[in-house]
Amino acid sequence: MIATIEYNSRKYKIDLSKPLDISIAIDTSKENVNAWYLDDPKIYPVSEGDWTGSVKEGADVNFNNIQFNPHSHITHTECVGHITEKVYSINKNLEKFFFLTEVVTIAPEQIENKDFVISKKQLQYALGNKKREAIVIRTIPNLSDKKSMRYSNTNPPYLLEEAAEYLKEKGIEHLLIDLPSVDKEKDEGKLLAHNAFWNTKGAIRMRATITEFIYVSNNIKDGTYFLNLMIAPFENDATPSKPTLYEII
């Protein structure tokens, strides 16, 4: 099914029958992606007296509880409410769901013989003069074990504050990355990249979002796509999401 999308007075065509899913699901049948020092997610049938919500155990339906944290266990999209005292909901602030997007691949560079980071210079090189609403950052190495990585206490790569500031100045509204956070794992609560991207020291960018824990297959080439940023309707700072790319034809 071919759809036409108009953006900045220009028309683009995409094939809706060929989605490129870049999300990571919760899958308790195997080792699940995990961060922030929490136990693994749980999916289990409701039990009430002699009744268990499992067809295998004699029920008419499967009726499961799901226990998880969006920041720790699944691809998720968050708004500024993630870091503010005042409660803001991603479900209320994300009002559009299709965005012109650039997929870029970046090799985090080591600083001070310690941390691996994404710098402003790297993003400037990757984006050039392109004007985009969203950016999808794939880091390398890009192995499939990102879908089951145990990130706690590993000091993963992160964005420098200058990099997040650059994306804000560039007009990027939606930042997607294949890491557990845009910030350093242990940074004394500074959250420099989060704060810079959402401009918390000025006019807060309420509609801007950060999506973490994506996985961009190596079969997906760098370049321009349309992004469908689908979210679950949770009134919370963050919610599970299913970002999907569509090639422009």
Distance of CA 132 to the CA centre of its chain: 17
- Is 2.130.10.30 the CATH number for 2-32+70-247? no
Nearest to 87 by CA among 74, 96, 95, 78: 78
Nearest to 22 by CA among 225, 222, 215: 215
Model-level pTM?
0.96
pLDDT by residue (tens digit) across 76-105? Answer: 999 999 999 999 999 999 999 999 999 999
Q: Give residue limits of the domains in the chain.
A: 2-32+70-247
Give 215's Cβ-side CA count (13 Å radius): 15
Nearest to 136 by CA among 226, 241, 207, 206: 226
pLDDT by residue (tens digit) across 139-163? Answer: 999 999 999 999 999 999 999 999 9
